[in-house]
Amino acid sequence: MHDHVIRATAAGGTIRAFAADTTHIVGQSRALHRLAPVASAALGRTLTAAVLMSQSLKGEKDTITIQIKGDGPLGGNIAVSDSHANVRGYVYNPDVDLPLNINGKFDVAGAVGREGYLNVIKDMGLKEPYIGYVRLVSGEIAEDIAYYYAFSEQVPSVVALGVLVDRDESILNSGGYVIQLMPGAEEEIIGQLEDKVNAVPAITTLMAEGKTPEDILQIILGDFGLNISGSAPCRLLCNCSRDRMERNLLSLGKSELLQIIEDQHGAETQCHFCNNKYQFSEEDLMKLVNE
């Protein structure tokens, strides 16, 4: 099954839902960034959240960035998606090694930290991007995203995110869902939905049984008149370019660039998201200075 994300409604449009399979995205990210298992789990959850949240972007060129910065050894992690669910991300410290938590699971909250913040930045092509900021409430990421939705967007939401890592540290599966109550949702439905969500196994358990995002929403929302309205592929894709790196260098300022020319006679920049390297010779840098 290829990575993909689906959009759905239920209960006559008073429930909105998204679900995604991001197994390949997280597998590729692990290889690219040499992620230790707990870092795979943390970044995988954030990448999945970005894929899910990208589905409510309205404009073709809109992007969403999720930035999580905590006081744990992971340092922080970041994921960016465009409106077509092309996602990219990285963690500050990919080789964090922590013992399993008391439930025998990867200690994502321990790696992220329980003190810190989560930023959601929506760039919708306006002069200023929308920035939602919340303090971390758990560090497990799904709860933090749910809190962001409730606090910043005033949308009550259930968020599940999971990454299943094999003994050899490869990624067995990764995915997630967001279920949201829209204005007009009836109290009775809210109660029934809560019961349903609490009774459903973890997303990684469902995926290990071969359940697709479609199956998972059917399990949770089937009784509420699920209507799957769209499906799209999602993939790991960086949009860095030499042009962008030139702009980054220019943002250092001309005196700083002249200093680099004098000290290093050139520069190498590396994209944090995809690790691509860009070389700039002394002549290249002089051209930038003289632009």
Site residues, Zn ion (CB under 5 A): 238, 240, 271, 273-274, 276
Query: CB of 7 within 8 A of CB of 227?
Result: no
DSSP conformation letters of 57-120: --STT-EEEEEEEESSTT-EEEEEEETT-EEEEEES-TT------TTSS--HHHHH-SSEEEEE
- Nearest-angstrom CA–CA distance, 132 and 74: 22
**Rounded CA gap, 233 and 223, in Å?**
27
| Coarse DSSP helix, strand, coil percentages of the chain, rounded to the nearest 5 percent | 35, 30, 35
Rounded least distance, CB 31 to Zn ion, Å: 15
> Closer to Zn ion at the Cβ: 192 or 276?
276
Cβ proximity to Zn ion, 84 vs 114, nearer residue:
84
Give the span between the Cα atoms of 150 and 289, in whole angstroms. Answer: 47
Least distance to Zn ion, CB of residue 276, Å: 5
For Zn ion, give the closer residue by CB, 78 or 145: 78
Pick between residue 155 and residue 238 the one whose CB is nearest to Zn ion. 238
Least Å distance between CB 274 and Zn ion? 3
Query: Looking at beta carbons only, is 138 or 276 nearer to Zn ion?
Result: 276
Work out how close the CB of 244 gets to Zn ion at its nearest, in angstroms, rounded to a whole number.
Answer: 9
Cβ atoms of 194 and 82 closer than 8 Å: no
Closest distance of CB 245 from Zn ion, Å: 9
CB of 272 to Zn ion, least distance (A): 8
Smaller CB separation from Zn ion, 231 or 248: 248
Closer residue to Zn ion in complex, CB, 61/244: 244
Gap between the Cα atoms of 121 and 63, Å rounded: 8
Q: Shortest distance, CB of residue 10 to Zn ion, whole angstroms?
A: 38
| Alpha-carbon distances, residue 88 vs 47, 66, 168, 209, 213 (angstroms) | 7, 11, 24, 27, 21
**Quick one: CA dihedral 173, 18, 139, 39, positive or negative?**
positive
Is the CB of residue 252 less than 8 Å from the CB of residue 228? no
DSSP state of 137: S
